[in-house]
Amino acid sequence: MTPPRNSTAARDIAYALHPYTDHKAHLKDGPLVISRGKGVRVYDEQGKEYIETVAGLWCASLGFDNERLVEAAAAQMRKLPFYHAFTSKSHEPLVDLSEMLIERAPPSADGAPMSKVFFANSGSEANDSAIKMIWYMNNALGRPEKKKIIARLRGYHGITLAAASLTGLPANHKLFDLPLPGFHHVSTPHHYHNAQPGESEEAFATRLAEELEQKILAEGPETVAAFWAEPIMGAGGVVVPPATYFPKIQAVLKKHDVLFVADEVICGFWRTGNYWGCQTLGIQPDILVCAKALSASYLPISAVIVSEKVFQGIAEGSSSIGTWGHGFTYSGHPVPAAVAIETLKIYDETDIGGHVKRVGAHMQAALRERFGDHPLVGELRGTGLIAGMELVADKAKKVNFDPAKKVGGRLSKLGEKHGLIMRAMVNDSLGFSPPLIITEAEVDEMLDRLGTALDELMVELRRESIAVV
């Protein structure tokens, strides 16, 4: 239906270019315009209420109306609305937040505490910055050939040129001439689809570690700089790795002097039931990248936390050149930094970790109890307050739908009809990552609405003879 002339939707069609959007379809259908939020819910222009099942983009961890964060931003705006961090300049919010992140960071790959924090504005910028740090470090250490980076198919690390090259999703490469040279990908650690018949999770993990080692050897260990991974894959469909996967991967990396970069943009700050996904999955990184829930996404900010080994390489290079020629105008901007500080304080003071453990366990159990036997649901996966539901055409054979049918997108649209905003991803997987403040009752309400939408989808697919149900 064409939006009314001069409405917000019509003006959006006329002037706005949206990320991750089919723009020909958008010209016809227009946007869903969200006007306000409260708790885990958002409201459109007409006042219709939706539960936000993915916290916006996996990120509004404290919901949509936290007054403490509003006040933190306002107070900092009045005191120091902007200053930069170039050429040894600093300010209190930057220093306080750096200290807080180092205190909370997991141990580095060598077991020592992490060393320094660099700030950017988004996960994509943070991952790009980490790539540049690694290249710079290896040049400074006299290893100019050690530059290749290995990530994983279906991994997601952002959309700037280098970060999108890390990302292992076709839509982020097609027509963009990506990935750039020097970026490589190994298999997705998804036991449900990629394990061989009868292969245990541990055997599957062993095979993936062997694949990684063979890739490093084929490229030449002296040319491979780093391996990138999310503890739990987010936009790739909420893929939880098999048991023993990361310990085996890390053994290979240490053997060949390859850095491990943990992308905690989605998993960090209690999402998986621990402060970091690294702690949930047994990872000790050389570099940790975070964003999103760092400020509950009230203002843009991201961070790259580096080990002493990485910092010393950067320091050596900057000494030889006279500067480390990287940074952003808004690196460590005082207002987002102040909001991030308040966010971390709220996590501590409200025991958000304990809350996630309780409510996350409820969400995981309820998803499986309600939908584990549903004819359209092939696999349910996740931990804490992150979960994935994969829809399949044939449950017994684990056969996905034809992507052209856009079945996951259809469920997402039906969800809007029933008061849910959902995220459809690869293989018709739906992601669930609600605000961390969600209650058990709100989880149940969310799943009630999901059940209604899912049953309606099943009726439609039966009518169209699309699914084996």
Q: What is the DSSP string of 158-177?
A: -SSHHHHHH---GGGTTTTT
* Torsion sign over Cα 111, 113, 119, 121: positive
Instruction: Kindly report whether the peptide bond that precedes residue 300 is cis, defined as omega within 30 degrees of 0.
Output: no
Q: Is the pTM of this model over 0.75?
A: yes
Low-confidence ranges of the chain (pLDDT < 70): 1-2, 467-469
Q: What SS3 state is found at 297?
A: coil
Inter-residue contact 47 to 419 (CB < 8 Å): no
Q: What would the pLDDT profile of 300-310 be if each residue is shown by its tens digit? A: 999 999 999 99
pLDDT at residue 188, as a whole number? 98
Pairing between β-strand 259-263 and β-strand 224-229 as defined by DSSP bridges: parallel
pLDDT at residue 468, as a whole number? 59
In what order do the strands lie in the sheet containing 49-52? 34-38, 41-44, 49-52, 420-421
CATH topology of domain 32-65+351-463: Aspartate Aminotransferase, domain 1 (3.90.1150)
Of 251, 196, 203, nearest in space to 227 by CA: 251
pLDDT at residue 5, as a whole number? 72
> Which contacts qualify for 11-20: CB closer than 8 Å, 24 or more apart?
19/159
pLDDT at residue 179, as a whole number? 97
pLDDT at residue 264, as a whole number? 98
pLDDT at residue 314, as a whole number? 96
Residue type, 160: T
In the chain, domain spans: 32-65+351-463, 71-349
Q: Which CATH architecture has domain 71-349?
A: 3-Layer(aba) Sandwich (3.40)
Give every CB contact of residue 152 below 8 A, 6+ residues apart in sequence: 168, 185, 186, 187, 188, 189, 228, 229, 233
pLDDT at residue 352, as a whole number? 98
